[in-house]
Structure formats: C-alpha cells, structure tokens
Amino acid sequence: MAAPAQHVIDLVLEPDEGNRIANLSGPFDAHLRQIELRLGIEVRNRGNHFRLVGRRDETERAEAVLHNLFRQTEDGLVTTEQVHLALLEEGADHRGGVDRDDSPLAQDEVAVRTKRGVVRGRGLHQKQYLQAIASHDLSFGIGPAGTGKTYLAVASAVHALERDRVRRIILTRPAVEAGEKLGFLPGDMTQKVDPYLRPLYDALYEMLGFDRVAKLIERSVIEVAPLAFMRGRTLNESFIILDEAQNTTVEQMKMFLTRIGFGSCAVVTGDVTQIDLPRADKSGLKHAMRVLDGVPKISFTHFRKEDVVRHPLVQAIVAAYETFDAAQPASEG
C-alpha cells in the first residue's frame, strides 16, 4: 500500500516578536519536538515562519496547537504542561480512528476568571462541565482521576464568590480512604480529617493564595469540612462542592443533596472506578446517577480517559486499568 501523500502547511505567526517565538519553541526547540513526537509530523521554522509536514489531519492539528500556544505567549512563559494541554485540546491523542470534536462548543473558549488568573476549559468535556456548572443549580462531574473535575469546580466557586453571586464556599468530602480508619490517626477530629481534605485546600491555595484562604476560612467565608459535618444544616447562598462522592453511601448522598438551600448551587465530583467503601455498602454516587437521570435542571458531565490533563502517563495508566477491568469476570459492586 502506498504511503499517504505528505501535506505541507506554511504558517506565519504575527506579530514577529523574537521573545514570543522563542517562548513558543521552548528551550532548544523542545516544545516543537514535543509536537512532532505526539503528532508524527515534522516542524521546521525560521523566525516566525513555520512549515508543517505530515498527514493532513495532523498538520492541521499542529497548526491549531501553534496558534493556541502563540496566543498564550502574550500572558507569560509557555511550559511543557501547556504544550501537552494544547495538544490534548486539539485531539492529538485521538489518532487511530477517533476524530476530534468540531462542534461549536469545542472551538469556543470557556473560562472562569479569578484574581490569580484565568482557568480555561481544555477540551469538549471540560468546556461542557464549566458551562453546566454556570447554568445549573446541581451539576455532577464523573470520570477518572486527572480530568480536572475538582479543580474546575473550585475555580467556578472562587469565580462566583469574587462576583458576589454567593456569600460562601463550602467544600466537603467523605472521610473514607482505602485501608485507612480515622481512629488510627493521631490528633483531635479536625486533625484526623485534615489529610482527607488536603486536595481541596491545595486547589484553593492555587486560586486565592495561602494568606487569603486562611483569612476567608477564619471568617467562615470558606468552609472545608468532612461530609458528616453537613448533617442537619441548610446551606443558603453557598457554592457547595462534594468531592470524592463515589465514597458516599446512599444515605449520605441523599443527606447532602437535601442540604441545598436558596441561592445555592452544588457540584458533585467522583470516579466510580475508585470506590473505597466496604463491599457491603452501595456507592451513593452510582445510586444518584440512576435515581436522578433525566431530572430537569440537574447536569451530568462524564469524563473519559482522553480528558486526563495530568502527565501523559496518567492517561495511559487509566486506559490500562480500564482494559484490565473489562477483561475480568463481572462481579457484584
């Protein structure tokens, strides 16, 4: 079979600013080499003139990636991670039969702004997720680790707080982890549950800075607490995030969902492939997905392994586990 004809795209990036072109190319053209390896094409450049050689679909994706990254050079230094995310956004990991999504939403920028910067949706599902959070009082983000479910929810919460759409942010998750029991950890109750809530603190620190988070927590504008602390409360004018919801029981999930008060919105995130509950307990997230399916004004966004935005190896790990699990005999869960 004859090899497919090579397609050539000549691209000129304007304005012709040497520091921005060097930023785009990376040290020793490392970013260009990264694009070549991921897309299987050749990238040549002289100044702001680029020539892309390879299959038509991959050179067109490379053109879109270069335009995307060049826009980002206006705001600061382009990193290896940003190159990876730009490739992911343009469907660079969907080669071999899965086409990129060319719907209008996939081409539009969906972002939330905080005082520390802009958080953008990467890829169709992240954009759908951000739009769903903005337009629904209750949103679910379901999918594997590394797809940005919690990070984007926290960014949306900070965005809402800074624009006075809510009066406080409440972040919660069940204090359940594989192989761990709270009673075996040292300290009082606050110290016992703190390690389980650390990912939520990390996202807040990145959005707002350590000092401001500490002040907002002191004033109870931000509350980070285990799910058990939500019982009996009605949460008005709040942005509420339930993280790691796959580890809630059916009763806990119902309790959480009935806490939502006037002027509030809630986001529930979880990964149904990583349930750490005892075998006898049913996951509240899996149960809610069945019970609430089709209920108006509730949104479900399902992420896939292709949406992973961490190190590229994470996507391969998720895929490997999916393949292994699919080959095992069906079991109760």
* Residue 307 per-residue DSSP state: G
* Residue 152 per-residue DSSP state: H
| Measured distance CA(120)–CA(89) in Å, rounded | 11
What is the number of other CB atoms lying within 10 angstroms of the CB of residue 293?
A: 9
Q: Is residue 133 pLDDT above 80, yes or no?
A: yes
Residue type, 293: D
What is the number of other CB atoms lying within 10 angstroms of the CB of residue 274?
A: 13
What pTM, to 2 d.p., does this model score?
Answer: 0.66
| Measured distance CA(267)–CA(284) in Å, rounded | 14
Contact 166, 333 (CB under 8 A): no
| Measured distance CA(22)–CA(264) in Å, rounded | 46
pLDDT of residue 97: 35
Longest Cα–Cα distance of the chain, Å, equals 70
Lookup result for tokens 């995130």? 269
Superfamily of domain 7-94: K Homology domain, type 1 (3.30.1370.10)
| Measured distance CA(145)–CA(270) in Å, rounded | 9
Residue 224, strand partner residues: 171
Instruction: Please count the residues of the chain.
Output: 333
Average pLDDT over residues 77-100: 66
Residue 223, strand partner residues: 170
Sheet with 42-46: list strands edge to edge: 7-12, 49-54, 42-46
Class for domain 104-327, per CATH? alpha beta
| pLDDT (tens digit per residue) in 241-262 | 999 999 999 999 999 999 998 8
| Measured distance CA(116)–CA(295) in Å, rounded | 36
- 218 compared with 325, residue with greater pLDDT: 218
Angle subtended at Cα 19 by Cα 16 and Cα 22, rounded to the nearest 5 degrees: 95
% of the chain residues with pLDDT over 90: 41
- 181 compared with 223, residue with greater pLDDT: 223
- 115 compared with 229, residue with greater pLDDT: 229
Q: Which ranges in the chain are annotated with CATH 3.30.1370.10?
A: 7-94
Buried b / exposed e along 69-78 (16+ C-beta atoms within 10 A): bbebbeeeeb
Q: Which ranges in the chain are annotated with CATH 3.40.50.300?
A: 104-327
What is residue 12's three-state secondary structure?
Answer: strand
Rg (CA), the chain: 22
pLDDT of residue 296: 85
